[in-house]
Structure 1
Amino acid sequence: MRRRTFVSVAGGSLAALSGCLGNGGENGNGNGGNGDSTDTRDATETEDGGTATPVEDPTITIATYDSFVDGEDPVGPWLKSEFEAEYDATVEFRTPSSGINQYIQRAQQGAEIDVDLYVGLNVDELIRIDEQLDSALFDSLDGEIDGSDRVRDELRFDPDGRAIPYDTGYISLVYDEREVTPKTFEDLTDSENAGELIVQNAQQSDPGVAFLLWTIHEFGADGYLDYWSDLQDNDVRVLGSWDDAYNAYLNEEASMVVSYSTDQVYYGDQPRHQVGFLNDQGYAQPEGMARFADAPNPDAARELMEFMLRPDVQGVIAQKNVQFPAVADADLDEEFDAVAHVPPEPVTFGYDELAGNLDGWIEAWARQIVG
């Protein structure tokens, strides 16, 4: 698909047909064709007397989350511009309000899914897909994506090779060093820090789920609720989303908030934007991209996935998405390395550990903490 001429040949040889034509996907307006339209574009005569009609470039439709395409200098528009400049394709984005749930529901209803890629998939959502659907929502691409062998092994979270990591975050604390110095989980329950911690609701927020899982990793399935009871006794504040929690922190309603270890990429090394790794740990939260099983343009989607794993592109994705790259050879500048902090001991739960357990852990937490 890279800067090739697409032609469909009528009444002549097939030798001129080149490039990745997909499987009859969307037109340049993002609307699927009905198969009945007549192509009115100018046809050219081939050497053997047939006719060749230019084929419209494919449109790759990506479903993702809001901040990937909106906000201050998001990565999505840059990705679209750079890919379209190098490849004969158009990139369009959709940001469904219910995220991956929209496509789970459509699959359950047998409805068409006219999207090629989902960008922003995590292990929690992958487990939800597998628990709720009997048929495959995404293709298994293990070994088919050039560059996927360069993805760091510790970030791979899909045993079936459907979700390919493209970046990762590490959940940590962000704190005001003038007020608190959190070093351990026990520090958060110390009476001196009463009312100073803001967390997200694990029923509504990815960082909220990650912090909950971090406490389960630390205290075990039999002990995490006791730890959360101690947090409650110390007046922990549970707000809905990351935005809710972080805005409250920016308004100085508390001295600690659960957030990401890349906080200083945006705010710099300021007293109120210190990164805290409890027990020298941070919870890894890789994000993946996956191609829908019925993608209108599967070959074009594959090339976009490969593009996103290139070292130069990985460097820009990391900096604009304020996350860490998924590959070890990403092109990153020294300034990013200086302010983006990797925990001494990254921890996480894998697919097999979460499958069959995640929903129960969240439900038990919700009954005690927000119920």
Structure 2
Amino acid sequence: MKRRTFLRAAGVGGVAGLAGCSGGGGDATETTGGGGGSTGTTGTTTGTAGEGASELVVATYGAFVDSPSTSPGAWLKETFESENDATIRYETPDSGVNHYIERAMRGEDIAADVYVGLDVNMLIRLDEKLDKPLFASADGLSRRDDVKESLEFDPQGRAVPYDTGYISLVYDETQEDGGFAAPKTFDGLLREEFSGDLLTQNPTSSATGQAFLLHTVKAKGEDGYLDYWKQLKRNDVRVLGDWESSYAAYSNGEAPMVVSYSTDQVYANESGEDLSKHQIRFLNDQGYANPEGMALFDGTDRSELARTFMDFVLRPEVQSEIAVRNVQFPATTTAELPEEFAKYAKEPPEAVTFSYDQLKGNLSEWTDAWAQQFASK
């Protein structure tokens, strides 16, 4: 997804210390356009369809539509409307999918037909809170089998992946007089020579921070990840509240490494930045995958049009366009990335992630245990 526009160091201050340690995580502001309590919505209305055309209401996060030159929303709307007797209206509630969970809990109507931007953590949260389904099974899609099996994250078949990102380290090799290189393994981060060199994010308030925490659980196991974080803390890792503050601190030269996205060089290249300050390191030769999905709201009376839209999103050329505009990777096996984009968007030798079944019942426990330990002296 469109997680950011490229941050420049000038005028951007870092944030020190642990922030936002409130527990529960997973709906980070950089992935849902805000995790606050507001339930107001904003609809975009660019473009028109013919008189009498059907309206499809697509719910998503704000960054998917709020930057027409780079975000995919405006392009998707224009292209879909040009091919169908329909018009798209976007809803971008500040609290993301929580807005619809809350409406469902209150028994209120939901006007949206499709949600774009689901991840596994959101699915777990809505399944824990709701007795009735919020989303229906996405059956009947002609391009459903094009989705990479490794990215499937919903055992009930509601969420259909449409793109994915990989969490990695970004490091500045110009540090230490041009001789800095990030370690190649998680254990390497514990070496004294890297004391104070890593910036990451609070996993209870940031999607990137949560992904990094989950990667440490993958690497060290349920019984070992807290001890690993205890050692990271001793080695002066800095945990900031969100991606924006940690990347700003990195851009300001406060540390030579930051947890970020493996597409970082795409932004750097487009902005004319020095790529030596945007090197990618996949710890243990792995990247933690964060696929995003779309789903059909249960009970919509425009299910046929909604499925047409979902099939449209899975078309090879549409997948490529979404990937480039969102600066992520396609979810299908049929899409091809432009040569320039593929040159700078780095894929890990091995993608790792936790499944829905592995995370359900464990995610809150892992993050709460981390928060309790890391906040303690």
Tell me what 1:347 maps to. 352
Tell me what 2:312 maps to. 307
Q: Does 1:192 align with 2:193?
A: yes
Tell me what 1:56 maps to. 52
Tell me what 1:232 maps to. 233
1:187 Cα deviation after fit: 2.1
1:153-192 equivalences under 5 Å are 153-179=149-175, 180-182=180-182, 183-192=184-193
Unaligned runs of 5+ in 2: 1-42
1:147 is aligned with what amino acid? R
Other structure's SS at 1:346 match: strand
1:135 is aligned with what amino acid? K
Q: Cα 1:245–1:30, aligned 2, differ >3 Å: closer, same or farther?
A: closer
1:170-319 equivalences under 5 Å are 170-179=166-175, 180-182=180-182, 183-268=184-269, 270-319=275-324
Distance 1:79 1:197 in 2: 38
2:350 is aligned with what amino acid? E
Residue 109 of structure 1 is aligned with which of 106, 109, 131? 106
Q: Which moved more, 1:80-89 or 1:157-166?
A: 80-89
Distance 1:185 1:362 in 2: 19
2:64 is aligned with what amino acid? F
1:294 Cα deviation after fit: 2.4
2:209 is aligned with what amino acid? G
1:297 Cα deviation after fit: 2.1
Q: Which moved more, 1:170-179 or 1:152-161?
A: 170-179
Cα offsets for 1:235-279 (capped at 9, x unmatched): 111112222222222222211111111111111370111111001
Tell me what 1:3 maps to. none
1:37-56 equivalences under 5 Å are 56=52
- Select the structure with the greater relative contact order (CA < 8 A; seq sep ≥ 6): 2
- Of structures 1 and 2, the larger Rg is shown by 1
1:83-162 equivalences under 5 Å are 83-142=80-139, 144-162=140-158
Other structure's SS at 2:135 match: coil
Distance 2:93 2:246 in 1: 22
Distance 1:250 1:172 in 2: 16
1:131 Cα deviation after fit: 1.1
Cα offsets for 1:126-162 (capped at 9, x unmatched): 11111111110001114x1121110000000001110
Unaligned runs of 5+ in 1: 1-28, 32-53
Distance 1:30 1:218 in 2: 42
1:159 is aligned with what amino acid? P
Q: Which moved more, 1:177-186 or 1:303-312?
A: 177-186
1:296 Cα deviation after fit: 4.4
Distance 1:201 1:163 in 2: 26
Aligned residues: 320
1:56 Cα deviation after fit: 2.0
Q: Does 1:368 align with 2:354?
A: no
Aligned sequence identity (%): 54
1:295 Cα deviation after fit: 2.4
Aligned-pair Cα RMSD in Å: 1.8
With normalisation by structure 1, the TM-score equals 0.83
1:66 Cα deviation after fit: 2.1
With normalisation by structure 2, the TM-score equals 0.81
Other structure's SS at 1:162 match: coil
Distance 1:265 1:325 in 2: 15
1:293 Cα deviation after fit: 0.4
Other structure's SS at 2:277 match: coil
Distance 2:54 2:151 in 1: 31
Distance 1:310 1:351 in 2: 26
Q: Which moved more, 1:79-88 or 1:154-163?
A: 79-88
Distance 2:201 2:98 in 1: 20
Q: Is the 8 A contact 2:44 2:91 kept in 1?
A: no
Cα offsets for 1:159-200 (capped at 9, x unmatched): 111000000001101111223322111222222112221111
